[in-house]
Structure 1
Amino acid sequence: MAPRRTPLGDRLRYWFDSTLARGAPALGGWLALLCLAVVVPASAAVVWTDPDAPASLTGRLSQVWRLTGETLRLGGVTGAPLRVALSVLLALVALLYVSTLVGLITTALTERLIALRRGRSTVLERGHAVVLGWSEQVFTVVGELVAANANRRGAALALLADRDKTVMEEALNTKLGPSGRTRLICRSGPTTDPAVLALTNPAEAGVVLVLPHDEPDADAQVVKTLLAFRAALPDRDTGPPVIAALRDDRYRLAASLAAGPHGIVLESDTVTAALIVQAARRPGLSLVHRELLDFAGDEFYLTGEPSLVGRTFGDVLLAYTASSVVGLVRGHTPLLSPPPDTPIGPDDQLVVISRDDDTARPDDCSHHVEETAMASEQPPPAPPERVLLLGWNRRAPLVIEQLRRCARPGSAVDVVAEDGEVTLQQVDDADREAGAGLTLTLRRGDVTRPGTLSDLEITSYDSVIVLGRDPAPERPSDEPDLRTLVTLLLLRRLEQAAGRELPVVTELIDDRNRALAPISPGADVIISGKLIGLLMAQISQNRRLAAVFEELFSAEGAGVHLRPASDYVLPDRETAFATVVAAARLRGECAIGYRSHADASLKPGYGIRINPHKTERRRWDARDEVVVVGRE
């Protein structure tokens, strides 16, 4: 069989590709031939069509060569061959020099642009906030700091993470939108390298926030980042205040030592467990915490008022019309909802909830109190609780511990989890920690199967807590929320069959899944990363608030509660909010707002009203609730 003949076009293409493979000289030769193939015929056409062109062929060819040389910057000298060759040589040298110079400049500019895009230049800002790390909290922290700096000129925030600078900028812009007056500066590199961390100019920063990582060794990475931050400072004994978040309290001492005397370390799992339990005991409380912790509405401030020195704390509760007093800070110790007869000292600072730090101005409103509208009967003692805990994760023992601390005699917790999620040893340990006041029972089952939930008589429980599974390397990062969403769908089906709404508290890992959750409007959803981010942003504006929040979210301290409005004012009676404050004062509590039952399903606040004016009058429904700060 005769060999197949290769087409001419393929052979020419192969020959051309083979010559290009020889490198830059071959490419330069082809470019020269291509230029000559275009320029020479075009120059000849120009000369032959010129009426003033020389009549002789030699003159015309010289003119063509001169025109070609001028076009290709070859000098265009005519005459003896040696003279022409030297002219071409000089032109090639000049061309080589210019080309090399342009190439060097282009390469330098390209490298500089690449370095800038990689975020490798040092920040020269002063008094800026530095955020180290990239995790689920980054959008909350950056967004809240941008909101806090809305009225500040020249505010800046430097973010350092082991990610591409362009990717971080695009993610922040997509998630948060315009940053207003705050300048966002992204730098790329590992937060555990002091040389890279120095790019954020930490010595001149106003505050440094260290976010927990998403990896299994997240807490160890936080400790290492804190050590790198200290190493990056010129003087390790000085520097800006540091706020860090951990998951496990085993690393808290190490993190506190690494953070230094100005450091504040938060335990995200402990705070999350406390918020889950508080919301389970009183539905709607997570909405109150969200209102108190973000910068969109009213938040906590510390203020000193010399005119109130010597008066009792009970008098001070009605000394502000547009702000709500919830406690005081004496020395470094916060006293939330202290006894009404506590005197105000000259060095005490009041803890107030206000729209802004300059709106907390004294304005006596005690004359708006109507004692005839106050409820006189004491509420009956609360009965024992039955709590259903669906799922298990690393925060489950903390949730049970929080339930035990506030459990009433006869209370019970039923846990439903799979064999792979919890072991008998874990339940036995939690049961021993729970003590005699709380009965703990484990039931094996898959909470994503309809039969598991149908056999529970779920309507007999006072509250249902749905925990998300801990992320694991062998599972997709969104799988915990997928299981939670399936469980919520099954619970919604049981709600429809029972004809009533179940008090469900849901823990989600990703804030984006909140819109997907099949829950009723205003239901309690705890997103641990978002709450810790809000806390870090609040404390970054005032470090002394850290002790206030620690007291607020501890099981033994004075926390935020939702109480029936009928415990404070007579139902169907119109009166000012100052009356509610006075009634709460008699019970040793600080009233800071209310939840309207009529608006409980309406966005965006779902009936929550924090820090209303004491002069605001409304007709109180028996199903309304009052938000108070106090003890159980």
Structure 2
Amino acid sequence: MKAEAGWRARARYAFDKSMAGGAVALIGWLGLISLIVIILAGLFLSLTGIAPEGGEPVGFIEGAWESLMRTMDAGTMGGDMGWSFRMVSLFVTISGIFVFSALIGVLSSGLENKLDELRKGRSRVLEQDHTIILNWSPSIFDIISELVIANQSRRNPRIVIMANRDKVEMEEEIAAKVDNLKNTRIICRSGDPTDLYDLSIVNPQTSRSIIVLAPEGDDPDSQVIKTVLALVHDPKRRQQRYMIAAEIRDAENAEVAGIVGGGELQLVLADDLISRIVVHTSRQSGLSAVYSELLDFDGCEIYTLEVPALTGKSFAASVMAFENCALIGVCDRNDAVHLNPLPNRVFEAGDKAIIIAEDDASIGTWGEDIKLDREAVIAPVKHPNQPEHTLMLGWNRRGPIITRELSRYVAKGSHLTIAASTPEFESEIDALALPVDNMTVTHRVVDTSSRSALDTLDIDSYDHVLVLGYSDHMNAQSADTRTLITLLHLRKIAERAGHHINVVSEMTDVRNRELAEVTRADDFVVSNKLVSLMLAQASENPYMSAIFAELLNEEGSELYMRPVTDYVSIDRPVNFFTIAYSALRRGEVAIGYRRLRDNDPDERNLGGVVVNPHRAPAMTYQPEDMIIVLARD
């Protein structure tokens, strides 16, 4: 009995294991049952000699064939004659009905399960030269839009996205928020980007570039670092280097991320990037449009490439060698970036030129004689820096970074007043440590959305007003709504004062910028948009992170807007070659201008900013026009 029970248990266990194999195993069992029925019926007919009425007995093969026909088609037995043969046919037909009914159910269930599996996004991607985006954040839609523009010249471009979200939900949200994918196809997969098996699903081995976003939630930087670690140190990774662009929120985590990613990683320090651009824009209205123009793919971009024609030429001569491009720096053979180097710095073999151009096909040296109006060139003039009084309304995690950065640029004797009403505001102000003593800081606990509270701040006495969103304690839309209320109050205060107040605001969602236009603020720095643009550019240009690190570093060369009258005489039309030459005499590189004209087209809403203008045509300037230059101070 024990042996029999053991045999039955083992048989049942073997059957259970085979059934656990899924649809394929079930189809196998149904096929086996059908085969047994057909063989038994064929043997029975051949051994008993039972045949249709009026017919002759059949052999095993013919009997098996007749049984197979009745198994597959129940209507076949309709023409059978003779009750003995009918009974055999009825048994075979009923068996066939059972088998095929079960088979249809198994196939239907298997197909449904397969579709569910596909909807879950767990199938492996077999693309080549694709861009991978890991994790999900509000920045992803702008990144996709930028990559779509960059991919227009490519054949069959693909963007593969993996995040801990439902595949169908990701696809629906992308379809709703990205207007036109053009020739780019989006492929979504669900999975954990920190897991080696899940990473293999998106096939990083054949990817062109990888973007790692900081996900929403607690401690996003640790997720980014772990994802980079999984990519770089995967035992099955490819031998050639990856091109990874990763977003890090807290600059204190940058060193660890750099150690993990090594030379394959470009870090985009989100809060640091936004804070530095906010500081630059708050002191020079219009600069956010310049940064946006340099970062997005619609218009001019920064390219890093070898230009053999420049070998042996000085940097100054090379700057004047382009008509449709703007040379701004050199990337040496050690991949070190030098923006606006010394004018006599000579291009050597292997050096790469850092150039602003509409596209790489338009990059070419100027072959004609350069026409300069040397009489229009004005001798360099130094304007001493004056102390500045700045008001910051609102507070978030970028507030301390902005305060420290602002202190590096302003003249000695400057003052910053910070007004906000967040719970940790006063404790963070008390913990502030400025790197230099150029600026003093005071603070007031004020409801910045209250008109009566704003009236107590004497706002029209400040040189600059900077409005931050309460993005640490509110969602993006609520924070932007409160910012809009503050900006509307500032507009009314300026109208009452009867003079212009220089106002720069930080926005979270780019879609709110159009609403903010009614506030007539001088500039808007859209945080999510800037991070998205930077990540998209870094995924295409391996030097982009280093270029912007120097561009936003007070020790390197930075972007400035300066009066055109500091460079050329405006009593007659001059070409941009002449302005570029005048800038070179001051140790600067001119890359564009800002002209506010009612009849000038501004389809891209850049506030009259033109980056990389054609240099040969002469233009007429007015005293309020500005030249955009790359300068050391």
TM-score by length of 2: 0.83
Q: Deviations over 1:263-312 (max 9, x none)?
A: 12221111111100000010010011111111111111123233322222
1:445 partner letter = V
Q: Displacement, 1:344? A: 2.2
Is the CA contact (8 Å cut-off) linking 2:504 and 2:521 kept in structure 1? no
Is the CA contact (8 Å cut-off) linking 1:165 and 1:188 kept in structure 2? yes
Tell me what 2:15 maps to: none
**Structure 2: distance between partners of 1:522 and 1:339:** 37
Helix, strand or coil: the match of 1:433?
coil
Tell me what 1:607 maps to: 608
Tell me what 2:447 maps to: 446
Is the CA contact (8 Å cut-off) linking 2:503 and 2:521 kept in structure 1? no
Q: How does 1:177-326 map to 2 (within 5 A)?
A: 177-230=179-232, 232=234, 234-235=236-237, 239-326=241-328
Q: Displacement, 1:149? A: 1.4
Tell me what 1:30 maps to: none
399, 404, 410: which is aligned to 1:401? 404
Q: Displacement, 1:434? A: 5.0
Helix, strand or coil: the match of 2:338?
strand
Equivalent residue pairs, number? 558
Helix, strand or coil: the match of 1:478?
helix
Q: Deviations over 1:5-47 (max 9, x none)?
A: xxxxxxxxxxxxxxxxxxxxxxxxxxxxxxxxxxxxxxxxxxx
Residues 1:162 and 2:161 aligned together? no
Helix, strand or coil: the match of 1:569?
coil
Tell me what 1:51 maps to: none
**Structure 1: distance between partners of 2:238 and 2:251:** 25
Is the CA contact (8 Å cut-off) linking 2:508 and 2:526 kept in structure 1? yes
Q: Provide closer, same or farther for how the CA distance between residues 399 and 365 of structure 1 changes in structure 2, counting only shifts above 3 A.
A: farther
**Structure 1: distance between partners of 2:466 and 2:428:** 18
**Structure 1: distance between partners of 2:287 and 2:261:** 32
Unpaired segments ≥5 residues, structure 1: 1-70
**Structure 2: distance between partners of 1:452 and 1:269:** 28
**Structure 1: distance between partners of 2:299 and 2:234:** 37
1:381 partner letter = P
Q: How does 1:296-445 map to 2 (within 5 A)?
A: 296-330=298-332, 331-364=334-367, 367-376=370-379, 378-418=381-421, 420-423=423-426, 425-430=427-432, 432-445=433-446
2:147 partner letter = L
Tell me what 1:497 maps to: 496
Tell me what 1:48 maps to: none
Q: Displacement, 1:377? A: 6.1
Q: Deviations over 1:451-477 (max 9, x none)?
A: 1111112111111111112334xx545
Tell me what 1:469 maps to: 470
Helix, strand or coil: the match of 1:338?
coil
**Structure 2: distance between partners of 1:370 and 1:104:** 84
Is the CA contact (8 Å cut-off) linking 1:74 and 1:88 kept in structure 2? no
Q: Displacement, 1:444? A: 1.4
Q: Displacement, 1:586? A: 1.1
Q: Provide closer, same or farther for how the CA distance between residues 612 and 419 of structure 1 changes in structure 2, counting only shifts above 3 A.
A: closer
Q: Displacement, 1:596? A: 0.7
Q: Displacement, 1:414? A: 0.5
2:579 partner letter = V
Q: Provide closer, same or farther for how the CA distance between residues 601 and 386 of structure 1 changes in structure 2, counting only shifts above 3 A.
A: farther
Tell me what 2:631 maps to: 630
2:505 partner letter = T
Tell me what 1:553 maps to: 552
Is the CA contact (8 Å cut-off) linking 1:522 and 1:606 kept in structure 2? no
Tell me what 1:45 maps to: none
Tell me what 1:538 maps to: 537
**Structure 2: distance between partners of 1:190 and 1:170:** 20
2:378 partner letter = A
Helix, strand or coil: the match of 2:215?
coil
Tell me what 1:618 maps to: 619
1:622 partner letter = P
Helix, strand or coil: the match of 2:560?
strand
Tell me what 2:108 maps to: 106
Helix, strand or coil: the match of 2:361?
coil
**Structure 2: distance between partners of 1:410 and 1:365:** 50
Q: Provide closer, same or farther for how the CA distance between residues 80 and 500 of structure 1 changes in structure 2, counting only shifts above 3 A.
A: farther
1:344 partner letter = F
Unpaired segments ≥5 residues, structure 2: 1-72
Q: Displacement, 1:421? A: 4.2
Q: Displacement, 1:250? A: 1.9
2:284 partner letter = R
Tell me what 1:19 maps to: none
Is the CA contact (8 Å cut-off) linking 1:392 and 1:421 kept in structure 2? no
**Structure 2: distance between partners of 1:403 and 1:621:** 30
**Structure 2: distance between partners of 1:252 and 1:143:** 27
Q: Displacement, 1:211? A: 0.6
**Structure 2: distance between partners of 1:532 and 1:307:** 35
**Structure 2: distance between partners of 1:337 and 1:231:** 37
Is the CA contact (8 Å cut-off) linking 1:202 and 1:233 kept in structure 2? no
Tell me what 1:512 maps to: 511
TM-score by length of 1: 0.83
2:614 partner letter = H
**Structure 1: distance between partners of 2:272 and 2:582:** 32
1:443 partner letter = R
Q: Displacement, 1:80? A: 8.9
Residues 1:482 and 2:481 aligned together? yes
Q: Deviations over 1:311-341 (max 9, x none)?
A: 2211111111111111111232211112222
**Structure 1: distance between partners of 2:448 and 2:441:** 18
Q: Provide closer, same or farther for how the CA distance between residues 610 and 165 of structure 1 changes in structure 2, counting only shifts above 3 A.
A: same
Tell me what 1:586 maps to: 585
Q: Displacement, 1:238? A: 5.2
Is the CA contact (8 Å cut-off) linking 1:275 and 1:553 kept in structure 2? yes
1:480 partner letter = A
Residues 1:136 and 2:138 aligned together? yes
Q: Provide closer, same or farther for how the CA distance between residues 233 and 261 of structure 1 changes in structure 2, counting only shifts above 3 A.
A: farther
RMSD, aligned CA: 2.4
Tell me what 2:59 maps to: none
Q: Deviations over 1:589-628 (max 9, x none)?
A: 1111111122589542321111111112210111111111
